[in-house]
Amino acid sequence: MTMPDVAREAGVSAMTVSYAFNHPQRVAEATRRRVLDAAERLGYSGPHPGARSLRRGRTGTLGVVLGEHLTYAFDDPQATQFLGGVSSVCVEHELGLTLLPVTGGPSDAARIREAAVDALILWTSADDDPVLDAVLQRGLPAVVHGGPAREGLGLIGIDDRAAARAVGAAAFTGARAPAVLSFPTGRDRQPRLLRGPAPDAARFSVTRHRLQGYADAASAAGLDWARIPVLVLARNDRAEAEAATQRLLQDSETPVDAIAAMSDELALGALAAAHRLDRSIPAQLAVTGWDDTPAAAAAGLTTIAQSLRHQGELCARSVIEPGAAPAQAQNAPVWQLVHRASTHGSPPADDVSRAH
Amino acid sequence: MTMPDVAREAGVSAMTVSYAFNHPQRVAEATRRRVLDAAERLGYSGPHPGARSLRRGRTGTLGVVLGEHLTYAFDDPQATQFLGGVSSVCVEHELGLTLLPVTGGPSDAARIREAAVDALILWTSADDDPVLDAVLQRGLPAVVHGGPAREGLGLIGIDDRAAARAVGAAAFTGARAPAVLSFPTGRDRQPRLLRGPAPDAARFSVTRHRLQGYADAASAAGLDWARIPVLVLARNDRAEAEAATQRLLQDSETPVDAIAAMSDELALGALAAAHRLDRSIPAQLAVTGWDDTPAAAAAGLTTIAQSLRHQGELCARSVIEPGAAPAQAQNAPVWQLVHRASTHGSPPADDVSRAH
DNA sequence: CGTCACCGTCTTAACGTTACACAGCTAGGG
DNA sequence: CCCTAGCTGTGTAACGTTAAGACGGTGACG
């Protein structure tokens, strides 16, 4: 069932059928109706997408490379928000959205080479991810969220180090024995407890920058980063954070009195552990999160607000819209420190310090 | 940059380049290396997906039609599990995964007509969704999850009515004033409180079947369905369920003593409301959920276990694998009633009654 | 009445790939 | 020494669509 078939049935040329489907006003109303009727009769449901994309040179689809198994991507509220932003731009531009999971296997590069997409967005990539090379080679417009920066690829993300410095200051000021709840530092995803790890060791640039910021904040507060326990978790998961925090609170000789967590999910886990052990917040334990989710607001959590939804939109626009400025650090999105009751200093409720 | 270009550079024919990329062992090792080197040198990153799909007649991509705005799809733990199952089959078959959001607008049909996919899976479709017609017209292998059943489309899902009857019995037995927390009954998504609504009025077949099952269970327990309050919520959202349940518990003259909820999320909201009002579970209030999520297990919630992940896999296989039996009610997946402490009857902890 | 502009439709020529059939060439068996 | 089988490489012919430009017809205007 092809255009020539429909054309024959309708008594017009194939070109007229094409116009009837793609440029309705270029063809006379009566002819158009005749064509569409003929198509209906023959059960022709529209131009073959492959042929169209071959001829037009574009596919009408945006690809998102997820540096995670797909299941994790769907579970993670941050990925969720980000993809929501991407998808809203897709709907606006009438584009499809193709998900490209990265499994860590050799088929990853092939999947990216063969994907029928016009542009690519990368979410959660490790610094040395071979996928980055595949994307570069593909030569399509592409943008990385969060990092790593790479010649030839756009980059969108907040200044994680500065934000971590700010929220770290909120957590650590007045603390004597702070701790950190961290995202994984490598693709191996081993949960473990480190002390003052070198931030550079983290292979995800977001994790690295946040560790750097926390270390900055610790120094500024007169604390020795090298002694600060950093719980590296395997996943951005509340239950895992709760269990790990509980062990940390119970085991430490010096009672931990401040926790800076890299996400609200992790921070809420820490709060739950504190609650279970009857530690008062923030008197005995100050806690900060990251992302300013609704749950964080409800829990009165001091946190960093960054609209991942907005960043998803930015990423999508930067690769889709021809006029859009290439994504660079310059047009980095805004972040804010949202001060709430989970830390000391008691500024007015819901104080928002604006920053870059 | 096309195959002929690479062929010229490598001193072979275009056909050999094609073989080198697609059937590596069909071409001598030395030649293959020469071709890949030439491609590398010219920056050719592999066959053009559009051209390939035109020529081969398939795209190597599976489409999932989400009956929701994409953001909701990502938020919803059930959708998440289901998509996880679908995607695992995609990875196994080296297929891409394209998401097709349904916004309710007129562009929905166009998106489906133009999607470059080999097969379609429908998630959360209303009975009269015009999208179903677009899918049928497209003529691709397609399967609907949960319903509605439609000539020409596969169908996968559990027997929701029977399962609702079972879990409804667990909730309502011994109760005098039960209530139901329901999914939306129409696309309008209005939250509201109904009394014993006609199950047929629900326009999503899953919702309809579950209401029927609950009504069956009510009758069996000697209760009058027409008097039972049914809270129809706008979203599958814990916070919304908590607020609505709290109002219900406070307002009712006859104190509500049992709640059957259509998801664990909703049930957990109900439990939170009960906790806040100091109602003991199950003595003052029996609660049941649906899905058997980890959170439900942790909360000791009586619920229906159905593996949505497994159902996602089933859906994907039924449209992808040529040998697979066409999806029908016959090969419906299994469900189980998991009896826990949130209902009366105190069977052994974690009692699992196997069904169908 | 001739000219011009415009409109709707048609003809042509790719877009880049790959299934298929076939042609050399080598090796081994009769 | 011929014949067959297996392996490697090549030519041909689509796959279904659409951009660009050609073409004939109609109506307006001087």
Q: What is the DSSP letter of B222?
A: T
Asked if B100 and B113 touch (Cβ cutoff 8 Å), the reply is no
pLDDT of residue A254: 78
Per-residue pLDDT tens over the stretch A96-123: 899 888 877 878 888 898 899 999 999 9
The structure tokens listed for B284 are 């003052």
The whole-angstrom separation of Cα A299 and Cα B200 is 41
CATH 3.40.50.2300 describes domain B61-156: yes
Residue of A nearest to B43 (CA): A137
pLDDT of residue A346: 54
The whole-angstrom separation of Cα A82 and Cα A206 is 15
Homologous superfamily (CATH) of B3-47 is lambda repressor-like DNA-binding domains (1.10.260.40)
Substitution target from A70, A72, A135 for chain B, most B beta carbons within 10 A: A70
pLDDT of residue A333: 77
| Rounded mean pLDDT, B230-252 | 91
The closest of B239, B222, B346 to B282, measured between CA atoms, is B346
Per-residue pLDDT tens over the stretch A159-172: 999 999 999 999 99
Structure-token match 């995800």, residue found = A204
If you classify domain B160-305+334-353 with CATH, what class do you get?
alpha beta
The closest of B255, B244, B333, B345 to B302, measured between CA atoms, is B345
Buried b (16+ CB within 10 A) or exposed e, B309-330: bebbbbbbbbbbeeeeeebeee
For A:44-103, CB contacts with B below 8 A are: 45-54, 59-61, 70-71, 74-75, 77, 79-81, 83-84, 87-88, 90-91, 94, 96-101, 103
The whole-angstrom separation of Cα B3 and Cα A51 is 18
Residue A5 has pLDDT above 90, yes or no: yes
Pairwise pLDDT comparison (A71 vs A243), residue with the higher score: A243
Per-residue pLDDT tens over the stretch B186-214: 877 778 999 988 989 898 899 999 999 99
Asked if A64 and A102 touch (Cβ cutoff 8 Å), the reply is no
The whole-angstrom separation of Cα A65 and Cα B135 is 27
Pairwise pLDDT comparison (B346 vs A74), residue with the higher score: A74
A107-116, A225-234, B103-112, B165-174: the lowest-pLDDT one: B103-112
The whole-angstrom separation of Cα B172 and Cα B221 is 7
CA of A58 to C1' of D19 (A): 14
3-state secondary structure (DSSP) of residue A115: coil
Asked if B121 and B79 touch (Cβ cutoff 8 Å), the reply is no
Per-residue pLDDT tens over the stretch B119-154: 999 998 888 888 999 999 899 999 999 878 888 899
Strands B258-261 and B303-305: unpaired
Q: Which residues contact A348 (CB under 8 A, 6 or more apart)?
A: none
Rg (CA), chain B: 25
Q: Which amino acid is at A323?
A: G
pLDDT of residue A152: 86
A294: pLDDT confidence band, cut at 50, 70 and 90?
confident
pLDDT of residue B140: 92
Structure-token match 């198994």, residue found = A69
Cα distances from B249 to residues A287, B3, B242, B276, B344, in angstroms, run 34, 70, 10, 11, 19
pTM of the predicted model, to two decimals? 0.85
pLDDT of residue B333: 77
B279: pLDDT confidence band, cut at 50, 70 and 90?
very high
Per-residue pLDDT tens over the stretch A224-238: 999 999 999 998 888
Per-residue pLDDT tens over the stretch A64-94: 998 776 666 666 778 888 988 998 898 888 8
| Beta-bridge mates of residue B194 | B230
Per-residue pLDDT tens over the stretch B309-342: 899 999 999 999 866 666 565 456 789 999 999 9
Tell me which protein residue sits closest to nucleotide D14, measuring alpha carbon to C1'. Answer: B55
pLDDT of residue B293: 85
Asked if A108 and A131 touch (Cβ cutoff 8 Å), the reply is yes
Asked if A336 and A322 touch (Cβ cutoff 8 Å), the reply is no
Nearest by CB to residue A45, choosing from B46, B103, B138, is: B138
The structure tokens listed for B79 are 């959708």
pLDDT of residue B354: 47
DSSP-H helix ranges across chain A = 3-10, 14-22, 29-42, 49-56, 70-75, 77-92, 107-114, 130-138, 160-172, 205-220, 238-251, 264-276, 294-299, 308-320
Per-residue pLDDT tens over the stretch A264-280: 999 999 999 999 999 99
Q: Which amino acid is at A231?
A: L
Q: Which residues of A touch B61 (CB under 8 A)?
A: 98, 116
- DSSP secondary structure string for all residues of B287-324: EE-SB--HHHHHHT-BEEE--HHHHHHHHHHHHH-TTS
- DSSP secondary structure string for all residues of A204-233: BHHHHHHHHHHHHHHHHTT--GGGSEEEE-
Average model confidence (pLDDT) across chain B: 89
Q: Which chain C nucleotides are covered by protein, judged by CB under 7 A? A: 7-12, 14-20
What percent of chain B has pLDDT above 70? 92
DSSP-H helix ranges across chain B = 3-10, 14-22, 29-42, 49-56, 70-75, 77-92, 107-114, 130-138, 160-172, 205-220, 238-251, 264-276, 294-299, 308-320
Ramachandran region, residue A94 (left: φ > 0; alpha: ψ -120 to 50; beta: rest): left
Residue A327 has pLDDT above 70, yes or no: no
pLDDT of residue B94: 84
A207-211, A325-329, B206-210: the lowest-pLDDT one: A325-329
Strands B61-66 and B335-339: unpaired
Tell me which protein residue sits closest to nucleotide D18, measuring alpha carbon to C1'. Answer: A55
Cα distances from A314 to residues A161, A331, B234, in angstroms, run 20, 9, 29
Nearest nucleotide to A13 (CA to C1') is C10
Residue B296 has pLDDT above 80, yes or no: yes
pLDDT of residue B217: 97
The whole-angstrom separation of Cα A352 and Cα A354 is 6
Buried b (16+ CB within 10 A) or exposed e, A106-131: eebbebbbbbbbbbbbbbbbbeebeb
The whole-angstrom separation of Cα A139 and Cα A299 is 45
**Strand D at less than 7 A from CB of B38:** no
Q: Residue ranges of the domains in chain A?
A: 3-47, 61-156, 160-305+334-353
Compute how many other C-beta atoms are within 10 angstroms of the C-beta atom of residue B56. Answer: 12
The closest of B267, B337, B276 to B296, measured between CA atoms, is B267
3-state secondary structure (DSSP) of residue A178: strand
Q: Same fold for the domain at A3-47 and the one at A61-156? A: no
Average model confidence (pLDDT) across chain A: 88
Residue of B nearest to A239 (CA): B295
Q: Do A50 and B50 touch (CB under 8 A)?
A: yes
The whole-angstrom separation of Cα A270 and Cα A273 is 5
A33-42, A68-77, B258-267: the lowest-pLDDT one: A68-77
Decide if A152 touches B, using CB distance below 8 A: no
Q: What is the DSSP letter of B253?
A: S
